[in-house]
Every structure is written in C-alpha cells, then in structure tokens.
Amino acid sequence: MRGPHNIWRLIRTGATFERTGAMAVVLEAMRAPAPLRVAARVLGWPFKWLGLTGDPALPPATRALTALGPAYIKFGQILSTRPDVVGEDLALQLRYLQDQLPPFSSTVAKQMIADELSLPVTTLFSEFSEPVAAASIAQVHQARLADTGEKVAVKVLRPGIEKAFRKDIDAFYLAAGIIEFLLPKTRRLRPTDVIAHFESVVLGELDLRLEAAAAAEFATTTADDPGFQVPRAKWGLSGRTVMTLGWAEGVPLGDNAAIDALGVDRVELSERILQLFLRHALRDGYFHGDMHQGNLKVSPTGDIIAFDFGIMGRIDEYTRRAYAEILFGFIQKDYRRVAQVHFEAGYVPPDQDIDEFTRALRAVGEPIFGMDASYISMARLLSYLFEVTERFGMQTRTELILLQRTMVVVEGVARSLNPQINMWKVARPVVEDYIKDHVGPRAILRDMRKSALILSRFGPRLPDLLEKALMEQVGTRPRNPPPTAAPWPGIWALAGAGTLALGVWIGAAL
C-alpha cells in the first residue's frame, strides 16, 4: 500500500547504507561531487542506528543491497555490469548479486514443485540437486528427468517474493513523488512513470509461465544465429512458480579465467555478444532484457548460452527504423539527419530550433571522435547528454527504458571481456545491414505491399466507410467517434540521457 508510511522505508534505506559503510563507498565510486558527499553523510548519520546490519562477511555495498531486499538487488545487478561508471572494484563486488545470493531450503523448493505440478519430486526427477545458483527472485536446481534421463534446470521462485517486491516498489513510488515535488525540473524525466515501468517488468518475472513462453519465442527467433543457444522449455514441468528448461552446459560469462581455459577468444566473444543484441533488437524487435553475466554462459564449443527470460523487450517496426537511422546518422557524422529524425518522430518538441539541436548533437559527438575506446567514460557521456535533453525539453520515453538499460548492460558485459573493444566499429555492420534492408526502396515496396493487403481485407467495407466519411463531412456526427490516433512511440528512453546515448556511443569515432 502506497502512502506516507513508506517514508520509514526510505529512511531505513539511507540508514542501512550508512551503517554498512556503503554510503561512502558508492559515492566515491560514482565520483559524486564533494557537497553531495557531505550532505549525504550529514543527513544519514543521525539515523545510522536504524539501518539493517546485513552480512558482515560481504563488502559494504553488496551487504547493504542484500539486506534491503530484492528490488535493491536488481539495481545492484545493473551496476555490476558498469565498471566504467562505478569502478572495477565495486563492479566486481556487485557481481555476487547476479547468482550467488543465499538460497532457500531445498525442502521448501521440493514442496513448492509438488504443489505446483501435483506430483512429488521423486516421481518427476530421478536426481534433484541442492541449489546451483540463487538470485533475487528465484533459485535453480540441477535435475534429471525420471522418464528420459535428460539433464534439466529447475527454476523455483523464492517464497513470498511478490509481497517483498511490492513493498519495495511502494517505497520507490513515494521517493519518485518526493523528487518530482521538490525538484520540478526532474518532472520531464517522469520518475513516477519510470517506477511504473520497473514495476510492470518485475511483476512479469514473477509468473514463470510467462518466462517459459518467452524462452520458447526467443528460441524460435534466434534459431539461425550462429554461436548462440537458448535452452528449450519443458512445458509439462512448468507452472506459475516452477519452470523447467534444458540444462545449459558451460562456464559463466563473467569468469574470464574459465573462458580462457576453454580456449575461447574473448575479443571475438565480446564483439559477438554486442552484435547479437543489436540484431535481436533491430531484426526481430524482440530481445533479452537482462543480459548480465549471471544470465549468460559460454559452452565448451564457444557458443553463448542465454537463460533467465523473465525480462524481454519488444520494439515496433517503426521505432526500429528510426532507431537505426539515428545510429547510422551518428556513424556517418550526419548530425542534421539525426536531428531531423528526432523532430519528425516528435522526440523533440516542435517549438525547438532544429539548427540549435543539430549543433548540440555535434558538440556531444565531435569531442570524442577518434578517442581510444578505453578512455571514453560512459558516465561522462551520459552527463553531457543529460544537459542536451534538459535544454531541449525532451521527456522520458518509458516504453523504451528497457532498451536503454539493456544496451548499457550489454556494453558493460562486452567491456568485461575486452576492455579495449571499439563499440562503434563492432556495431557498424549490423546497423548498415539493417539500413540496407529496412530503410530505402526495398522497405518502401514492402510497406506498399502490406498496405495493399490490409486494404484488400477491408475491400467489401470500403463503400460503407467512404459513405460514412462523406456524411461526417456534411455535418453528420457519428455517435461514437473513433479515438485520436496515439503519437508514434519514442526512440530512446531518456531515463538519464538515453535518447542519444547509444547513437553517440556507437558512432562517436567513425
């Protein structure tokens, strides 16, 4: 239940960070300005005694996030992929949150499976291990099917996880409301809408039937991608709180030493993971929305294996084209075209000056052209872009927050494999291939064909529709007028400064 009582949760959050020592660590890692550091410490110190203690064996930030609960753990998982934002040491510490959290009892897990599938575990499986991985929402057991002997992974939700998430999210709503009230300039970023989006994504993870469906669809759309595997769902052994998939044999993508021991080229691997993500987003409009190291493995043959499909993203065809045009514009240094796409799609308010916006884009991109990839700070780039979005009144596009977040995560994963990766050169062939196939004469012909097919289906009704339209023109109003068409969805989530971030990041040095 939302309300002022959640103030206690926010106070406890700050107090926990102070009590565990995480406050100083995080502010230092994020390179926060000195006044902010002082203010945070002064405000947090009086309430320090109210904070949770957490596990003293863990590093401060990890200790605080695990003590606070699953929603905070999710946030930490994202930061764990961004060593260029939070620093190498903190990012390494936070990887603990990806799949090494304390598991719950196997006895409880077996009872949940029996309740969900209406059969005891001993009947379903000839072998059933202790937890092999545990994250914020669920844990995984290795098992062997009793009837076929196939090795499988059985995922079981944590008991009471939905209630725990709802409590945390309610506090986030209160924090967003306070921010909007005290800092009016942040309203264009729509913090409350951002939390609503986060809520819908997380609650979707809490029904494993939906995840099984996502796994099946993703396996179909990526079936022909070389070097990429998706385990198949076992529908008869899956339900709301339990999901069974084929077992993925491999080493964690975050374990560079193990990858080297397999003899897999980490440079090629880093390029492949970025290109796969872009292909899924552009070609299919359907992509894995939680691609951190804990959800990826490398097989003995060097294939990337993806699992955990609770968060998946979709992009409509129009948005994909605009997205690709913006990326390609940055690759070609055609800032005018990038600006035009933003104005044409309504991403920038029409009362703004397109020439000024073009100049602002050039000011962001040009200073880092030709710079070695390892010297470019994503944190600094996002800071620059935030200034641009604020100046031109660009609002957050919550429908694409997941795209922005996932790109940041994938870029971090690629850098963990190869710190010298040149993001724009790796991405260029994927973007160019999409542009050739989907922007230009061939795309126009496909669009005309689709339009003709739609019109053909409405052929018998066209005379009546035309007569109705003419009657409206002469003054006869229909009783139920059709709703006004919704504007086209935005191209890039501005949850920090994301409208331009990917384009600049990929195209900056070309």
Could you tell me the two tokens for 322? 């605009």
Measured distance CA(83)–CA(115) in Å, rounded: 42
Q: What share of the chain is helix, strand, coil (3-state, %, to 5)?
A: 60, 10, 30
The strands making up 304-306's β-sheet, listed across from edge to edge, are 228-229, 304-306, 296-298, 251-252
Q: CA dihedral defined by 207, 213, 216, 221, rounded to 10 degrees? A: -110
**Which residues lie below 8 Å from residue 368, measured CB to CB, with a gap of 6+?**
376, 381, 504, 508, 509
| Ramachandran sector of residue 125 (left: φ over 0; alpha: ψ -120 to 50; beta: rest) | beta
DSSP-derived secondary structure for 346-393: TSS-TTS-HHHHHHHHHHHHGGGTT--GGG--HHHHHHHHHHHHHHTT
DSSP 8-state code for residue 89: H
Closest among 197, 112, 114 to 156, alpha carbons compared: 112
Q: Are 413 and 271 in contact (CB under 8 A)?
A: no
CA 280 to chain CA centroid, Å, is 13
Rounded to the nearest 10 degrees, the angle between the axes of helix 498-507 and helix 378-391 is 130
Q: Are 201 and 289 in contact (CB under 8 A)?
A: yes
Classify residue 480 as exposed, middle or buried by CB count within 10 Å of its CB (0-12, 13-18, 19+).
exposed
Q: Are 16 and 64 in contact (CB under 8 A)?
A: yes
**φ and ψ at residue 448, rounded to 5 degrees:** -65, -40
- Is 290 annotated in the active site? yes
Question: For residue 101, how many C-alpha atoms fall within 13 Å in the half-sphere facing its CB?
Answer: 29
Classify residue 236 as exposed, middle or buried by CB count within 10 Å of its CB (0-12, 13-18, 19+).
exposed
Tell me the pairing of strands 228-229 and 304-306: parallel
- Give me the catalytic one of 84, 168, 170, 290: 290
Where in the sequence numbering do the catalytic residues fall?
290
